[in-house]
């Protein structure tokens, strides 16, 4: 899920700033629809100064189409650095990690029937079309994560987007049922002790990057198209300039009257230097038009939900191997509990 952006409308931005600064401990009064009177100290004051000293001022929110220069110290506008500073101060460091147990629903109280198991098995493991169960079902838990992340896309324009995603901690598969209230019904009194998994930062990073790439695919395609258009224009301009410059150098060699050998060597040296500079300029443009995506993880929620464990045969190449697997009722999906073999 990609969260909607806050519209660059003065009233909406003023409301966000009023709530955010109040949460940081500031005294805020909305004197007009596009103005805030702020008395800030400590964390709230560090939005504007690193010392956190007492700061009293008025913040204005001009309309996006308003003409004239902007004063970033007292005005808030799209792309304003103050908004990025405020967002960073609102997010705790290190990232908050919480754990909850989901309440079992009617589908998770009993093991899956043979029909359900066979159908969902084929959807989860297309290479192993038939479900061959080797051991009885055992009640257990499946662990997944809900991550709230911001993505900073650095290109010609800097773009920020907010995302909320859920994925399995076993294999990083994305779960699309994030906003199903029945699925996310928390069990207030879980009856048994749960052995929570140890988080592997490398795996978490890999899972998040894979999911965020899918979330950002359409937006990155649009940015890449625009970036490529600008790059082609700059490369064409550089190529034309150095082609013209080399042609001019060669014409000078032809026009050289006295000492033609020395003139020829001098021109060839300058042509070689120009070609080196030509390649450097092209490489510089490639670096300038590169797209960098920097994810920032703001919060992580670990979910434990009822599941059923068993052992089944999974096809790997031409052979079948017994593997421990897990059935997650709410997602109607199977997972391997051991790393996949190559």
For residues 148 and 299, is the Cβ–Cβ distance under 8 A?
yes
- Does the CA dihedral 44-47-53-55 come out positive or negative? negative
Q: In the sheet that 27-32 helps form, which strands lie side by side, from edge to edge?
A: 27-32, 35-40, 55-60
pLDDT tens sequence for the chain (342 residues): 566 666 677 878 888 888 888 988 889 888 888 888 989 888 888 888 888 888 888 888 888 777 777 777 788 887 777 887 887 788 766 667 888 888 887 777 888 888 999 899 888 888 877 888 889 999 999 999 999 888 888 887 777 788 888 899 988 888 876 655 445 677 777 767 788 888 888 888 889 888 988 888 888 898 899 899 999 999 999 999 999 998 888 887 666 555 566 666 788 888 889 999 999 999 999 988 888 888 888 888 999 988 999 998 887 667 778 889 999 988 888 998 876 554
pLDDT at 42: 87
In the structure encoding, which two tokens stand for residue 118, read together? 């066979």
Q: How far apart are CA 228 and CA 202, in angstroms?
A: 32
pLDDT at 282: 93
Distances (CA, A) of 68 to 62, 63, 65: 10, 11, 9
Q: What 3-state class would DSSP assign to 118? A: helix
Global pTM value: 0.65
- Does the CA dihedral 184-7-75-81 come out positive or negative? positive
Q: How far apart are CA 124 and CA 333, in angstroms?
A: 6
DSSP for 220-267? HHHHHHHHHHHHHHHHHHHHHHHHHHHHHHHHHHHH--S-HHHHHHHH
Estimate the share of the chain in helix, then strand, then coil, as percent rounded to the nearest 5.
Answer: 35, 30, 35
In the structure encoding, which two tokens stand for residue 175, read together? 């779960």
Q: Is omega for the bond preceding 94 within 30 degrees of 0, making it cis?
A: yes
Half-sphere exposure of 206 (CA within 13 A, CB side): 11
For residue 85, give the H/E element and its range: helix 81-90
Distances (CA, A) of 307 to 72, 144, 185, 332: 53, 12, 15, 10
Residue 204 burial (10 A CB sphere; 0-12, 13-18, 19+): middle
pLDDT at 342: 44
For residues 206 and 172, is the Cβ–Cβ distance under 8 A?
yes
pLDDT at 257: 56
Strand 96-101 and strand 292-316: the pairing is parallel
- φ, ψ at 310 (rounded to 5°): -160, 180
DSSP for 24-75? TT-EEEEEETTEEEEEE-TTTGGGT-TT---EEEEEE---TT--S---TTTB
In the structure encoding, which two tokens stand for residue 205, read together? 């990073």
In the structure encoding, which two tokens stand for residue 292, read together? 């960098």
Cβ within 8 Å of residue 224, ≥6 positions away: 291
């Amino acid at each position: 899920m990609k969260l909607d952006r806050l519209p660059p409308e003065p009233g909406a931005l003023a409301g966000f700033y009023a709530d955010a600064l109040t949460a940081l401990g500031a005294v805020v009064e909305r004197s007009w629809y596009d103005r805030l009177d702020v008395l800030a100290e400590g964390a709230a004051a560090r939005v504007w100064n690193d010392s956190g000293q007492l700061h009293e001022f008025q913040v204005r929110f001009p309309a996006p189409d308003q003409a004239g220069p902007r004063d970033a110290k007292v005005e808030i506008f799209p792309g304003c650095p103050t908004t990025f500073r405020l967002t960073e101060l609102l997010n705790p460091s290190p990232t908050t990690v919480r754990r909850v147990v989901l309440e079992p629903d009617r589908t998770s109280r009993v093991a899956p029937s043979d029909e359900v198991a066979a159908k969902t098995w084929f959807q989860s493991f297309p290479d192993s079309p038939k479900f061959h169960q080797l051991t009885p079902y055992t009640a257990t838990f499946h662990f997944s994560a809900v991550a709230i992340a911001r993505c900073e896309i650095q290109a010609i324009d800097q773009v920020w987007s907010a995302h909320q995603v859920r994925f399995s901690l076993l294999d990083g598969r994305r779960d699309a049922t994030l906003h199903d209230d029945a699925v996310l019904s928390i069990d207030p009194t879980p009856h048994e002790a749960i052995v929570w998994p140890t988080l592997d930062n490398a795996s978490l990073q890999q899972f998040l990057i894979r999911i965020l790439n899918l979330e950002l695919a359409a937006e990155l395609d649009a940015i890449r198209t625009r970036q490529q258009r600008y790059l082609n224009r700059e490369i064409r301009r550089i190529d034309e300039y150095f082609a013209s410059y080399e042609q001019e150098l060669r014409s000078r060699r032809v026009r050289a009257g006295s000492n033609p050998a020395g003139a020829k060597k001098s021109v060839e040296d300058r042509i070689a230097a120009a070609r080196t500079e030509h390649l450097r300029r092209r490489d510089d443009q490639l670096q300038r038009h590169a797209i960098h995506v920097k994810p920032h993880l703001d919060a992580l929620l670990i979910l434990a939900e009822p599941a059923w464990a068993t052992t089944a045969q999974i096809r790997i190449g031409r052979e079948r191997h017994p593997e421990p697997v897990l059935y997650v009722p709410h997602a109607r999906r199977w997972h391997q509990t051991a790393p996949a073999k190559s």
